[in-house]
Amino acid sequence: MRWLRRSAGVAVVLCLGFVALAPAAVAQDGSETDEQVVLTGRLLVPEGETIRNAVIFNGDALVEGTVTERLVVFNGRTEITGTVGEDVIVFNGDVVVRSGARVGGDIVSLQDPEIEDGATVEGSVDDLQTRWDVYDVGFAGRYAWWLAYSVSTLVLGLVLLALAPGLAAASVRALRERMGATIGFGLLWFLLLPVVAVLLLVTIVGIPLGLFLGLALALVYTIGYVVGAIGLGRLFVKEPTSRYLAFLAGWGALRVLALVPFLGGLLWFVATLLGLGTLWVAARSARREVVPVTPLPAPPPAMS
């Protein structure tokens, strides 16, 4: 499994570099790309470029080209001189639509937008406080869910490390020494738990337990995902670096890659599988550890 460790290590390094240095991925050939996502920095759609969706979490957005669907800005100034095919949603920051620009949908913002003469807004201009429904904004909802899940897994990981200080060491030991067993048992539990829940639901006596297990699957898988992030982080950020910093490295890499379509789902599955397998292998290893018992001294021979 050396190739797997090296590949994962490269992914971690690239992801951390992406977070620190690369604010966005932009197509340079004028072709349409699916999405442009910026965590922090500046979002720019140059003139002549066409993308499907654009979102920035922190920083200014400038659209000179074409966004065929939605533009979402969480915090920053928004300026449009080109075209946005559907809605423009700005949670915090000024919005300026220049003369000659076109917005095919609504403008939803916290502050009143500045719309110059000659600009076209085919939809309505609404206040964010009075018109915000996450289900009406599917694109923004996906990233709101990504942000919420990221915060939740971060908090859960910190809590687990505080309550179980040896979890990081046990996780990396399972990945290094028993990778095959970790993958095998992780896959087994990942597939077995929903099957058991369904089987319990078809029996009258087991319906309550089946419901409880079905509702708990999300939590169980999330714990597995977090443990997988802990193990991967400690695998590449070795001691004496703090276990918390190691977890942040693994968690940060996984959450950045979660923004990439398909790859994010695949890595969620892999991390969850490794986490569930790690928990099982670590629990069995701890059970096998036998505390040595010092034998009692033999009684002295009886005096005749």
Phi and psi at 282, nearest 5°, equal -65, -40
Total residues found in the chain within this entry:
304
pLDDT of residue 63: 95
Q: How does the average pLDDT of the chain come out, rounded?
A: 79
The torsion defined by the Cα of 205, 211, 214 and 215, in degrees rounded to 10, comes to -150
- In this model, does residue 65 exceed pLDDT 90? yes
- In this model, does residue 68 exceed pLDDT 90? yes
pLDDT of residue 144: 79
CA gap 120, 115 in Å, rounded? 8
CA gap 106, 95 in Å, rounded? 13
At 161, which amino acid appears? Answer: L
> Helix, strand or coil for residue 96?
strand
pLDDT of residue 24: 40
Global pTM reads 0.53
pLDDT of residue 22: 38
Residue 10 CB contacts under 8 Å (≥ 6 apart), including other chains: none
Q: Which of 32-36, 92-96, 133-137, 263-267 has the highest mean pLDDT?
A: 92-96
Residue 92: pLDDT band (50, 70, 90) is confident
pLDDT of residue 62: 95
**pLDDT tens column, 149-199:** 999 999 999 999 888 888 888 888 888 888 888 888 889 888 888 888 888
Average pLDDT over residues 23-46: 66
Position with higher pLDDT, 294 vs 64? 64
pLDDT of residue 300: 60
**pLDDT tens column, 12-26:** 433 444 433 334 444
Both tokens assigned to 200: 């319990």
CA gap 50, 72 in Å, rounded? 16
CA gap 43, 171 in Å, rounded? 38
**pLDDT tens column, 217-257:** 889 999 999 999 998 888 888 878 888 898 999 999 999 88
- Distance separating the N- and C-terminal Cα atoms of the chain: 68
pLDDT of residue 23: 40
Q: Which of 2-11, 166-175, 288-297 has the highest mean pLDDT?
A: 166-175
pLDDT of residue 7: 39
The sign of the dihedral angle between the CA atoms of 143, 110, 87, 55 is negative
pLDDT of residue 39: 76
The torsion defined by the Cα of 149, 231, 217 and 1, in degrees rounded to 10, comes to 120
- In this model, does residue 71 exceed pLDDT 90? yes
